[in-house]
Amino acid sequence: MTAKLESELIRTLAAAADVAPGPAATFLDQVHGRQRQRERRRAGLVVAAAAAVVVTVAAGVVGVVGRTTAQPQPGSPTGGPTASRTLMRLADARPAEQVWPEALVTLPARLPDGRAYTLIRILSGRRFLVAAKLAEGHSGPGGEVLLWEPDRGSPRSLGNPATPPGIGTTRLFGRPDVGDGYVAWAIEGEREVDADRGEYQEIWVAPLAGGPARRLAVVERAAIEPIVHIVDGHVYWARLEASHYDIPGPALFRVPLSGGRVTQVPGGRGYVLMRMPGWANTFGDATPSRLWNLADGTHRPADYRGFVEYECSPSWCVGSVEGDRHWVVRRLDGGRTLRVDFVARLFTSYNENIVMGLLEYPVADGDGRVVWDLRTGQLGTGPPITNAGYTGDTSDAMSTLSWLNPDGTMTVLDPRAIA
Amino acid sequence: MDGDGLDTLDLFVRNRATALLRYGYVLTGNPHDAADLAQEALARLGSRWRRISEAGDPEAYVRTTMARLHISRWRRLRRERLVAEPPDRGYSEVGLARIDGDVGLWHALAALPARQRAVLVLRYYEQRSDQEIAAVLGIARVTVRSQAARALDKLRATWPNASAGTLTGRTA
């Protein structure tokens, strides 16, 4: 079926392109109008940046501003001259098991019943939260979440959401969270009919100690971000209300763990959740860009302007710059911006000083995994992923790195175990 | 930018707008967003016209920018609008009717996240290799493969139903 689907895709896309409307008479004028808007906006940013420098100098912290590494230019996440220098080299990396042996855990590659699984979280020691993968022929984990202690036998299902009528295969959607004795997760489903109604997602919660899982919310038509957090007795998520591409309008919502009414989080408009539990950041190109600790209500400034793709921890932002596949890491206190000499998609983890990523080796047809301790500068790598060995695992979404071993086991690196 | 630069940019836009709108259309699924995307990418090109045109391939820059914009800047605004506002009936039905039942596949594509759709468009419309797609989107090859696998998986699950159901619904 794959070959047929692929040939149909080629034909359908070509045919669709053939019927695409041509440019309107005003097309060129509109391009020039946008160009003028961009130039005005950039001019405004330069003025704002200049004003900020004056204020900083007046406050008597010239020493910080004077460092060449400290202040990235507006729209240029690579910052000043030192920032553009390569500071992290793949050649300096060592195998992760040599760098952080204490952070590695080995597990069976399959559950006792033979199902493959995705590791969601290492709860403690040898207690794991996992999601069983869908049957062969499908990719990714399904909606069932299980608590597993391999040394004690079979996993215990915490919840296996039933598929609603009219919805096809349901899957785990993004990153679950654990807190206050509960696990919260989202599932998404594909509509079997009436596809124009858009997305279908549900928010679920279950007590880790046992007890029935509960569906807390159903989200239809509006997209939600693939992250849920448990904060202060509530499950949080970000809903994206996009009336137009140019007007990003996300907002945070929450519902009590015990169930009840879904409410919009006061002050949460314009924010999306970060990977770090309990934190949110302003969306997209918002100015000023800020991080928000949802637990204590404090905010801190962040600068991720100019990144075309980014993630932040409470201390760092990692991102890519347009036209440059070498990602950079920027300290939020203005201290340093680091650049790597390898091509990788980097992401933050549950340890705010640990950045992980999927990298491309410059030679050989393979990819690999990289772990970077921003505090010590240590760089570790996992084994290469070859075409033949690619499993479609989603460990990057779960904030751990995992790989299958030839002996049928799976090795997991838990960033939280790196001191 | 001086007058010569503007003239040259104008010429480029006039010559390539149709092709870029076609590309934008298969990326986004509707003509309004295709125009938005193409105009934004061309505006960015305009700001850097001299440097990029001297480098020799402004169209590659625009296409790469379009794909990245669609994913990175707008990725979180995903399908709501695309699904809620399908292409106008006039041209789409006449045009898509020619593709012999694949309207369902076209609609199934609309339900994919932007990144997954972009990977498929680059692979099956632009005929690019996974390595090239990774370079265009600024992501790892392994991500290209995982996104393609998930996208094809979803299409396999929904395509036959969408093909039968949606085609009937849209032509009723």
Are β-strands A379-381 and A94-95 bridged in parallel, bridged antiparallel, or unpaired?
Answer: parallel
Quick check: A68 pLDDT over 60?
no
Structure confidence by residue, pLDDT tens digits, A238-270: 886 543 333 346 789 999 999 999 999 999 988
First to last CA, chain B: 52
Tell me how far CA of residue A31 lies from CA of A28, A318, B26, B70, in angstroms.
5, 31, 20, 17
Q: Any idea where the domains of chain A sit in the sequence?
A: 27-66
A242/B149 touch (CB, cutoff 8 Å), yes or no: no
Closest-CA distance, B85 to chain A, in angstroms, reads: 9
Residue A362 predicted with pLDDT over 70: no
The DSSP 8-state label assigned to residue B75 in this structure reads G
Give the span between the Cα atoms of B109 and B105, in whole angstroms. 6
Cβ neighbours of A194 in B, within 8 Å: 165
Q: Which amino acid is at A31?
A: V
Q: Mean pLDDT of all residues in chain A?
A: 77
Q: Is B72 on the interface with A (CB under 8 A)?
A: yes
Query: Which of B121, B83, B107 is closest to B161 using CA atoms?
Result: B107
Q: Which has more confidence, A238 or A306?
A: A238
Spatial CA neighbour of A374 closest among A331, A411, A319: A331
Task: Tell me how close the Cα of A407 comes to any Cα of chain B, in angstroms.
Answer: 23
Contact: B146, A392; criterion CB under 8 Å? yes
- Start-end of H helices in B72-129: 78-84, 89-96, 103-110, 114-120
> At residue A393, does pLDDT exceed 70?
no
Which stretch of DSSP H or E encloses residue A264? strand A263-264
A48 falls in which pLDDT band (50, 70, 90)?
Answer: very low
Contact A284 B107 (CB under 8 A): no
For A169-188, how does the pLDDT look when each residue is reduced to its tens digit (9 = 90+)? 788 887 889 999 999 999 88
CATH 1.10.10.10 domain locations along chain B = 88-172
pLDDT tier, A279 (very low <50, low <70, confident <90, very high otherwise): very high
* pLDDT given at position A252: 92
Non-local (6+) Cβ contacts of A217 within 8 A are: A202, A203, A253, A255, A262
Pairwise CB contact (< 8 Å): B142 & A9? no
Residue of B nearest to A21 (CA): B31
Contact B76 A16 (CB under 8 A): no
pLDDT digits (tens, 9 = 90+) for B2-15: 444 456 888 899 99
- Cβ neighbour number for residue A162 with a 10 Å cutoff: 9
* Mean pLDDT, range A328-341, rounded to an integer: 81
B68 → chain A, closest CA residue = A308
Give CATH for domain B88-172.
1.10.10.10
> Over 80: is that where the pLDDT of A77 sits?
no
CB within 8 Å of A361: residues ≥ 6 apart: A367, A368, A384
Higher pLDDT, A392 or A149: A149
pLDDT for residue A294: 97
User: What is the nearest CA distance from A63 to chain B, expressed in angstroms?
Assistant: 35
pLDDT along chain B (172 residues), means of 10: 60 92 91 86 85 83 86 44 26 44 78 86 92 79 78 80 35 23
**In this complex, is the C-beta atom of B8 within 8 Å of any C-beta atom belonging to chain A?**
no
CA distance B54 to chain A (A): 16
